[in-house]
Chain A
Amino acid sequence: MSTLHSSTETSAKSWNSQLALDEHLLAGQNEAHVVAACDDSEHEQDNSAAVLDDVCLAFGTQEVLHRVSVSFRKGTTTAIVGPNGSGKTSLLRIVAGFTHPTVGTICWHDVANIAMAEQTISADFWMPLRVKDVLVMGRYVTTGAFKRLSKQDRHTIAEAARRMDVGDLLSRQIGELSGGQKRRVRLAMCLAQQADLLLLDEPESGLDITSQQRLFAEIDKERQRGAAVVFTTHTLSEAARSDQVLLLNHGAVVHGAASEVLQDDNLNKAFGLASTSGDANHPCGNCIFGKLNHLEPKLFDKQGQKPQWRS
C-alpha cells in the first residue's frame, strides 16, 4: 500500500455552492475535518485499487475539488463526467499520483502498475521514434532500464497493437501520424502496460466511430482482466455503461451507480440540460438510459434513412 498525505488537519473552507449535489457533503461542510491514515484491511476486503478520502484540491484561491471520497475497485469501470473545468483531469492526475491533493488522502492497494493516457498530445511533438518503439516502452514497466524483452513481452506488445488496430503503423514514425492515430498508439501503449489501474482522460476524443467502439470494448476487456479502469468522458452513453459514475460539478460531487447518478436533477444542475420526458418503456423510467435517445442524436432512424439530428 502506498499513501499520499497532503495535510493532516485543516478547517474546511466555506463552501457555498448552490450547485452542490450531495446533501451529505452539504451537511458536513462547516466541520473541521481531520485526515486519517489509510485503512488497509477495509479496502483490501472490498478489492479497492485506489481510495480517495475527503480529497480537496485548490489552485491558488480557486477550489477545484471539494471533499471527494470515492474508491475505485479492481475489475470495475468508473466514468468521471462533468462540465469543462469541473476538475475531471485534476482528479485523474490525483489518482495517478501526479498531483498532491490540497487536503485529504489517496491510498493505493496492491497497485504495482498504473497506466495513464492523457487528453492532449502535443501536435508539434518531434522525436525519431517509431510506433513500435512507443509500444515497447509500455513494457519498460517490467524490463526496467536494462532487461531484454521476453517472448511474453513481445506477445503482449503485438496483442496491444492488434487490439487498438495499430498493427499496420508499427514501422511508421510517431511524428508522421494523424492526431487520432497518435491517440490509438498511446492507448495501445497503455494496454501493453497491462496496468492494475488504467486511467484514461477522454479516451474517445479524436477517434472515429469504429475506433471508439473498439476502445470501449477494450476497456471492458481490461475490466474483465481485473484492472480498475477510470476514465473521463463527455459521452454520457458510455458513462452509463460503467459500473460507477462520478459526476463533478465545480467542486461538488455525486457518485454511485450510473442509473442513480445520471438522473435528471443531477444532469440539470451540472450541465443545465433541459428536462426531457425520457423513454417511458425503459425499465428505469426517467434514468439516463431512457433519456439517451433525446440527449444524443441517433445516426440512422429505423428505416435506415438519412441522419436526423434531434433538437
Chain B
Amino acid sequence: MEVLEAQWEWWFQPFVNHTLLQEALFASMLTVVSTSLVGSWITIRGMSFFAETLGHGILPGVAVAALVGGSTLLGAAASAAAVIVLLFVVRRYSPLPNDIVIGLLFVSTLALAVLLLSRSRDVFIERFLFGNVLGISSSDILQQGVIAAVIFLLMLLFYRPLIAASYNADVAALLGFNPRLVELGLLTMLTLAVVASFRVVGSLLVFAFLIAPPASAALLARRVQTMMFLAVVFGALSVFLGLTFSYHWGVATSAAMALCAAGIFFVCLVAVSLWHKISQTSTAKRMSRTTVFLGQAEPVASEQAAQKR
C-alpha cells in the first residue's frame, strides 16, 4: 500500500540521493532509446525470435573476451556478426523453415557460452545473462551514448527504406531501395542495440526491452513514428519504475525493469480491449436507435442484436 500512498519523495528521492542510481537511470535510458527504436522495426517485421537469438548469440564472444581479458563489447559484436552470417548461410542452404534454423542457433550459442565458462572459477555466466545495471561506469555510459546516437542516425537514414521494405520487399526494390541493404542496416542496428544493452539488462532480458515497449506502443499507435516515440516513452517508464521498486523492495534491478516493461504491455492490452468493447457497445446502441428512428425494424429485435454483438 505504501506505493499508493507514496509521496514525491518515495518516487524521486532515491535518484536525488544516490549517484549510483542516477548513473543506472541514465545508462538504462540510453539503452531504452536504442532498444525501443530498433525493437519497433523488429516487432513490425516479425523478427522477435531472431532478436532473442541474437541476444544469446553474443554470449560465446563475450565469454571468450572475459576469459582472455579482452573487451566484452568487441567480443559481443564479433559474436553477433558471426551469428548473423551463420544464419544467412544456413538459411540459404537449409530447406527447413527459418524458425527451426534460428532455434538451433539459439540453443547452440547458449550451450557454447555455458561450455566455455564451465571450467572458469572467476567468470560466471549469470553476470552476462542478467547484467549489472548498478555496476555501470562512466565510460560505459559514454559508449552507450555513442551507440544510441549512431542508432538514431541510422534510423533517420533508413526510415523510408524500412517503411517500404516492411510493407513489401519487392515494392522497396522498385522504389529504388535495395532490400538487402535495408535488412543489413536493420541487423546492424539490432546488433548495436543488443551489444550496448547486455551489460545493463543482460543478454537474457535485453529481449524484454526490444519487444515489450514496442509491443505496448503498437497497441496504441497508428503510425510508425508514433509507435517508435511511444516505445521510447514506455521503455523509459519501465526503467524508472523498475529502478524505484528495486531500490525500495531490494529486488533484482534488471528483472524488475523487464517485469515493468511486460506489465505496461498487459495494462495497455486491457485498456485497448476495454476501449474497443465500449466503442462497440456505443456503436451498437447508435445503430439500434437509428433503426428505430427509420422504422425499418423492430426496436426490440435490434436491441437484442446489439446486445449479442
Contacts and interface: CB of A to CB of B under 8 A. Distances in A.
A12 interface: no
Interface in A65-117: 96-98, 114-116
A98 B173 contact: yes
B220 to A, nearest CB: 9
Interface stretch (B78-86, B95-103, B164-172): B164-172
A133 B223 contact: yes
Q: Which of A96, A115, A127 has the most CB of B within 10 A?
A: A127
A118 B44 contact: no
A27 interface: no
B167 A137 contact: yes
Q: Which of B174, B222, B223, B227 has the most CB of A within 10 A?
A: B174
B164 A137 contact: yes
Nearest to A127: B44
A145 B161 contact: yes
Nearest to B218: A128
B176 A140 contact: yes
B157 interface: yes
Contacts of B157: 145
B160 A129 contact: no
B44 A128 contact: yes
Interface of A is mostly: mixed
B170 A140 contact: no
Contact of B223 (A114, A115, A129): A129
Interface string B149-183: 00000000111110110111011011111000000
Contact of B174 (A96, A144, A145, A173): A96
Contact of A116 (B167, B174, B176, B222): B174
A137 B171 contact: yes
Interface in B195-234: 218, 221-224, 226-227
A170 interface: no
A138 B226 CA distance: 21
Contacts of A126: 44
A129 B176 contact: no
Indicate the size class of the contact surface on chain B.
Answer: 20 to 34
B167 A115 contact: no
Contacts of A140: 160, 164, 175-177
Contacts of A128: 44, 218, 221-224, 226-227
Contacts, number: 63
Interface string A142-160: 0111100000000000000
Interface residues of A, number: 25
B57 to A, nearest CB: 26
B171 A96 contact: no
Contacts of B161: 145
B170 A116 contact: yes
Contacts of A173: 222
Contact of A145 (B159, B224, B226, B227): B159
A292 interface: no
B156 to A, nearest CB: 9
A144 B161 CA distance: 9
A133 B163 contact: yes
A130 B223 CA distance: 7
Interface string A180-194: 000000000100010
A97 B176 CA distance: 12
Nearest to A116: B174
Interface of B: 44, 157-161, 163-164, 166-168, 170-171, 173-177, 218, 221-224, 226-227
Enumerate the 9 nearest inter-chain pairs by beta-carbon distance, A residue then B residue, closest first: A140-B175, A145-B160, A128-B221, A128-B227, A141-B175, A114-B174, A127-B44, A128-B224, A128-B222
Given A129-B167, A133-B223, A134-B167, 19 more contacts: A96-B174, A97-B173, A127-B224, A128-B44, A128-B222, A128-B223, A128-B226, A133-B163, A133-B224, A137-B167, A137-B171, A137-B175, A141-B176, A144-B160, A145-B159, A145-B177, A146-B160, A193-B174, A193-B175
13 contacts: A98-B170, A116-B171, A127-B166, A128-B221, A128-B223, A129-B224, A137-B163, A137-B167, A137-B175, A140-B175, A145-B160, A145-B161, A193-B174
